Amino acid sequence: MQSTAHQIALETKHATIDRRIADETGRPHPDTAILADLKKQKLRLKEEIVSL
């Protein structure tokens, strides 16, 4: 049961980061450093979700 709650929490964080990436990309002058950091965070979360 805990792993399911953990997985849901990770998926929620992943979706939040995805929205932040979309928001930053939609800006007239997106900050490439912020985008790179968000994409790294998203990838780490995705890897952790897959490992479950």
CB 17 within 8 A of CB 38: yes
CA–CA distance, 17 with 14 (Å, rounded to integer): 5
Q: In terms of residue numbers, what domain contains 15?
A: 2-51
User: What tens digit of pLDDT does each residue of 10-52 get?
Assistant: 999 999 999 999 999 999 999 999 999 999 999 999 999 999 8
Tell me, what's the pLDDT at 52? 85
Contacts of residue 6, defined as CB under 8 A and 6 or more positions apart, other chains included, come to 52
Residue 2's pLDDT band (boundaries 50, 70, 90)?
low
Number of structural domains in the chain: 1
CA–CA distance, 15 with 8 (Å, rounded to integer): 10
CB 18 within 8 A of CB 42: yes
